[in-house]
Amino acid sequence: MSQNKFDFILAGNYLTTLIAGLELAKSGKKICVINPLPGWGGHFTKLTVNGITFDPGGISHEFTAFNDTGLIDPKSYKPDVRNDWGRFTKVIENYTRSHIDLERMQTPFTVYDGQLFPDIIMTNRLDVLQHPLLRKRIEAETQFITNQDESELHPKNKKTNQLYIEKSYYEASVANHGATLHSELFEPYFQKMSNLSTTGLIALYHRIGWLPLYYPETILSQYGNNPQNFHDTYFCYPKAGYIGIFGETLAKRLEEAGAVIIREGIETVKDLPGNTSVILKSGLEVSAPKLIWSLSHDQLITASTNKPANVFDRWSATLVFMTIPRNKLLKTFSVLWSPDKQTLFYRACNQTDCSGADEADARIVVELNPDYLTAFGFTEESDIIKRVKQDFCTLGFVSEPESINIAGFKTLKNVLLLPSRRNWQLLENERDILYDRYPNVFFTRNTESFFTDTLNDQIIKGLKIAEQYKN
């Protein structure tokens, strides 16, 4: 085998790429990884702001699921089945812990009416339902719902009912939760995050918007003598203090395993019978029988159709990076989810608390939607920062805004894909084109199935690819 010929070429910096490449290299395969992007880990990388390491938003490891069956073969993972990674949480946790040290996080909070409650958005803690502004209305509405004939949009039908693709999260949420719970907690959260309505969110993909869908019976039971409670959802976070340590560690071990790593852009991909050739910007050509692609599909779609790539519906994010001296922080928190109409941010993550680090300053990243901010008249960076500081004072985390030090400010335009029906159809069309034009290319990311880019999906997908091709 010549110097430029490999068993596998992997293009991208996703965790799927790194894990598949590492495990294939360890099995004796000759591996080339091409990464033209900064950093490692895709969405799960790090940002260095004024010499301080931050995550690009609130990110953590989730190792609990209701459908986990224990240690099973990764080859049985089905990316086309919504949240199938839930069967593999033990596999995912064991693999992750074999590379990095993790700390179990404090339970996240949900902010409502200026108060902190154990989180209902992701952690399935329903304490907020007892709030006096919510209790009577939600109880009456869910009582009415459960007295009716069972709706086709009942959550138990998610995997089998086509309506969950055809209908919106708004329709499913109101049908199961009633108008009050939806309008007071879930709708304002999604609007703060995306500046859009939940009518544009496909019901089946509600968790992509970090929005729950509870059985109406579960909600109603909270007001009786035997409330239905969930097992605690727990989250973990790297002890190193930033999520990007996972990708960095995998990349280092990939190189140690003998893989060739190229940090250069790609000019052309030629898919020939039994072989794929990748020509780099420098003119270097490398080839392999199989190319595993986790970069954007735009380049290959344009090459296949001679037309511009699709423009997907996306939303933007504004990130405020800040530090607060630990002795000035009046309350501790790991993650705050804020559907609260009194605040403008939708999520904040205290990385120092998440990692259990012994640091003098808490590193906190606050997430806002710039279009939502504009709708409320906040367009200037200084005004946005002033309002974020005010929100943290109002919530009682600091006594005065001067306790908060701003490390940086960043707006990322059109970075988060909206789980809309239009985007779903565009990705289905892209898959047909790419699979037909590039039979020797294994496509990861959303081409394999709509929204399989979560942290857990990427890990189990990488292990599946390695199991498929290592022998």
Banded pLDDT at 95 (limits 50, 70, 90): very high
- CA angle at 455 for the pair 297 and 76, rounded to the nearest 5°: 85
2 assigned to some structural domain: no
Contacts of 414 (CB under 8 A, 6+ apart): 314, 315, 316
What was the pLDDT predicted at 261?
97
Residue 343 has pLDDT above 60, yes or no: yes
Judge if 246 and 374 occupy the same domain: no
332 assigned to some structural domain: yes
Judge if 305 and 354 occupy the same domain: no
What was the pLDDT predicted at 314?
92
Lowest mean per-residue pLDDT among 186-195, 209-218, 334-343, 428-437? 428-437
pTM for the whole structure: 0.94
Judge if 325 and 412 occupy the same domain: yes
Judge if 361 and 441 occupy the same domain: no
What was the pLDDT predicted at 82?
81
Residue 397 has pLDDT above 90, yes or no: yes
> Alpha-carbon distance 418 to 185, whole Å?
20
CATH number, position 373: 3.90.660.10
Q: What percent of the chain has pLDDT over 70?
A: 98
What was the pLDDT predicted at 71?
65
Using an 8 Å Cβ cutoff, are 175 and 139 in contact? Answer: no
Judge if 380 and 362 occupy the same domain: yes
3-state DSSP assignment of residue 354: helix
Question: Which residue, 221, 252, 269, sits at the end of a domain?
Answer: 221
Residue 67 has pLDDT above 70, yes or no: no
What's the mean per-residue pLDDT of the chain? 93
CATH number, position 436: 3.50.50.60
Judge if 141 and 207 occupy the same domain: yes
181 assigned to some structural domain: yes
Judge if 263 and 385 occupy the same domain: no
Question: pLDDT digits over 3-48, tens only?
Answer: 799 999 999 999 999 999 999 999 999 999 999 999 999 889 999 9
Question: Which residue, 396, 417, 438, sits at the end of a domain?
Answer: 417
Residue 304 has pLDDT above 90, yes or no: no
36 assigned to some structural domain: yes
Question: pLDDT digits over 271-292, tens only?
Answer: 888 899 999 999 999 999 999 9
157 assigned to some structural domain: yes
Judge if 407 and 425 occupy the same domain: no
Judge if 258 and 296 occupy the same domain: yes
60 assigned to some structural domain: no
Residue 311 has pLDDT above 80, yes or no: yes
> Alpha-carbon distance 34 to 269, whole Å?
12
State how many domains the chain has. Answer: 3
Residue 1 has pLDDT above 50, yes or no: no
Judge if 302 and 429 occupy the same domain: yes
Lowest mean per-residue pLDDT among 29-43, 91-105, 297-311, 324-338? 297-311
- Range(s) of the domain holding residue 197: 126-221
Using an 8 Å Cβ cutoff, are 254 and 462 in contact? Answer: no
| Residue in the structure block whose two tokens are 């007892």 | 130
Judge if 330 and 397 occupy the same domain: yes
269 assigned to some structural domain: yes
Judge if 165 and 39 occupy the same domain: no
293 assigned to some structural domain: yes
Contacts of 57 (CB under 8 A, 6+ apart): 317, 319, 347, 349, 365, 367
Residue 338 has pLDDT above 60, yes or no: yes
What average pLDDT does this structure show over 346-369?
A: 96
